[in-house]
């Protein structure tokens, strides 16, 4: 890991080979080109004197820090470098943009790794102030948490071994073993009887990647945005099926009752979409794994 820093912009070099070591205990196999990929990282100017009638914000202001739950094993989205402990990716940039508009610099963010199955508990128990990690907005979750956004829409897809031509889409999963993550929407979807798939349910997507590679599972299902990162990491071994079968609008998770904070975050997202920060961040992170940039429609729809 090398770091180059100018006053405001840091460009982190993310050695993708490190992902497998960090998450599965294995490194990329011979023949796989795990080329180091530059991931964009920017520090946004924090707003001054932010006053909102939000208890979560007031508590964070008192601490001088904002705690944001993120993912650590999703290249180009939410990824933690094992050696430097630094986080990078599109969701990390979104978190920094939002924090800045709430008055917090990058240094004042405490990033906390929280897996999919623990998100609602961490938000409602106030172990995190916000959550930014491929978090789909839906009605079931809205019974427990609030959402600002959406800032991006992904779709559930399938990642398979490169040589396996038998899986061509969700309709070809009869009798196959599909790995996914507890507490995730793609797992819920793939459990529907119409697919006829067996499931392997783990805690981390990166562990599912290993299960597909060692043939314990035939496919991994989750959002295409996440799968593209894993496919880019092992181009000789893994293939994205590229037939998205759900819509996954990503929101920033927060306290269910904090309407003021929710509106402020949606406004922050809109500001950074308008001023070009969002597009730059997208192209420097997610865009590198092959997800084309689509400008979000403004104003963002309310959920
Ligand atoms: N977006 C989906 C979800 O929120 C899958 C990705 C994830 O587990 O974070 O469940």
Instruction: Show me where the domains of the chain are located.
Output: 8-154+249-289, 156-240
The SS3 of residue 42 is strand
For ligand 1, pick from 76, 89, 131, 136 the residue to mutate: most ligand atoms within 8 Å of CB: 136
- Ligand 1, pocket-test mutation among 75, 135, 144, 303, most atoms within 8 A of CB: 135
Q: Distance between CA 283 and CA 288 in Å, rounded?
A: 7
Q: What pLDDT does residue 15 have?
A: 40
Is the sign of the CA dihedral 215, 25, 109, 255 positive or negative?
positive
At residue 21 the predicted structure's pLDDT band, cuts being 50, 70 and 90, is: very low
Q: What is the mean pLDDT of the chain?
A: 89
> Is the model's pLDDT at 292 over the cut of 90?
no
Helix axes 17-24 and 205-213, enclosed angle (nearest 10): 100
Q: Looking at ligand 1, which atom is closest to the CA of residue 71?
A: 9
Ligand 1 pocket, Cβ-based, cut-off 6 angstroms: 116, 133-136, 181, 184-186, 222-223, 248
Alpha helices, H only, the chain: 17-24, 55-63, 90-101, 119-124, 139-142, 185-190, 205-213, 224-233, 259-274, 277-284
Cα(278)–Cα(38) distance, rounded to whole angstroms? 17
Average pLDDT for 170-192: 97
Task: Name the closest-CA residue to atom 5, ligand 1.
Answer: 184
Predicted local distance difference test score (pLDDT) of residue 249: 97
* Partners of residue 66 on adjacent β-strands: 109
Q: Which CATH architecture has domain 8-154+249-289?
A: 3-Layer(aba) Sandwich (3.40)
The string of pLDDT tens digits covering residues 98-141 is: 999 999 999 999 999 999 999 999 999 999 999 999 999 999 99
Summarize the chain as % helix, strand, coil (round to 5): 35, 25, 40
> Is 301 strand, coil or helix?
coil
Distance of CA 30 from the midpoint of ligand 1 (Å): 31
Percent of the chain with pLDDT over 70: 87
Instruction: Give the residue, 237 or 29, on which the prediction is more confident.
Output: 237
pLDDT of residue 39: 83
Query: What is the number of residues in the chain?
Result: 303
Domain 156-240 CATH superfamily = Periplasmic binding protein-like II (3.40.190.10)
> What is the DSSP code string of 65-116?
-EEEEE-SEETTTEEE-TTT--EESHHHHHHHHHHHHTT--GGGEEEEE--G
Yes or no: say if 96 and 106 are a contact pair by the CB < 8 Å rule: yes
In this structure, what are the phi and psi dihedrals at residue 279, rounded to the nearest 5 degrees?
Answer: -65, -45
Ligand 1 centre distance from Cα of residue 135 (Å): 5
pLDDT score for 26: 32
Q: How far apart are CA 128 and CA 132, in angstroms?
A: 10
Q: Is the dihedral of CA 234, 237, 243, 247 positive or negative?
A: negative
For the purposes of burial, counting CB atoms within 10 Å of the CB of 49, is it exposed (0-12), middle (13-18) or buried (19 or more)?
exposed
pLDDT grade for 243, boundaries at 50, 70 and 90: very high
Atom index in ligand 1 nearest the CA of residue 154 equals 1
C-alpha gyration radius of the chain: 19
The answer to whether the 8-154+249-289 and 156-240 domains have the same CATH topology is yes
Structure tokens at 234: 């092992």
Q: What is the pLDDT of residue 215?
A: 97
Query: How many Cβ atoms sit within 10 Å of the Cβ of residue 2?
Result: 10
CA of 90 to the centre of ligand 1 (A): 15
pLDDT of 37 reads 57
């Amino acid at each position: 890991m090398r770091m180059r820093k100018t006053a405001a912009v840091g460009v982190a070099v993310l050695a993708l080979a490190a992902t497998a070591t960090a998450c599965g205990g294995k490194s990329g196999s011979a023949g796989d080109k795990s080329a180091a990929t530059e991931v964009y990282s920017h520090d946004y100017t924090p707003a001054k004197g932010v006053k909102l009638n939000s208890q979560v914000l007031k508590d964070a202001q008192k601490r001088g820090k904002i705690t944001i739950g993120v993912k650590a094993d999703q290249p180009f989205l939410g990824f933690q470098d094992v050696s430097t402990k630094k986080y990078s990716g599109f969701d990390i940039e979104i978190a920094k943009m939002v924090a800045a508009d709430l008055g917090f610099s990058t240094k004042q963010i405490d990033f906390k790794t929280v897996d999919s199955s623990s998100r609602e508990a961490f938000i409602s128990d106030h172990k995190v102030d916000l959550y930014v990690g491929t978090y789909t907005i839906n009605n079931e979750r809205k019974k427990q948490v609030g959402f600002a956004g959406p800032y991006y829409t992904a779709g559930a897809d399938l990642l398979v071994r490169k040589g396996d031509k038998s899986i061509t889409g969700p309709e070809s999963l009869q009798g196959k073993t599909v790995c996914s993550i507890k507490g995730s929407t793609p797992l819920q979807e793939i459990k529907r009887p119409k697919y006829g798939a067996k499931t392997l349910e783990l805690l981390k997507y990166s562990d599912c990647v290993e299960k597909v590679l060692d043939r314990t599972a035939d496919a991994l299902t989750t959002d295409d945005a996440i799968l593209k990162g894993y496919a880019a990491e092992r181009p000789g071994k893994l293939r994205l099926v590229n037939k998205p079968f759900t819509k996954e609008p990503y929101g920033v998770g927060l306290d269910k009752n904090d309407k003021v904070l929710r509106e402020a975050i949606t406004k922050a997202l809109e500001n950074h979409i308008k001023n070009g920060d969002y597009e730059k961040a997208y192209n420097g992170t997610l865009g590198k794994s092959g997800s084309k940039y689509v400008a979000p429609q403004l104003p963002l729809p309310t959920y």
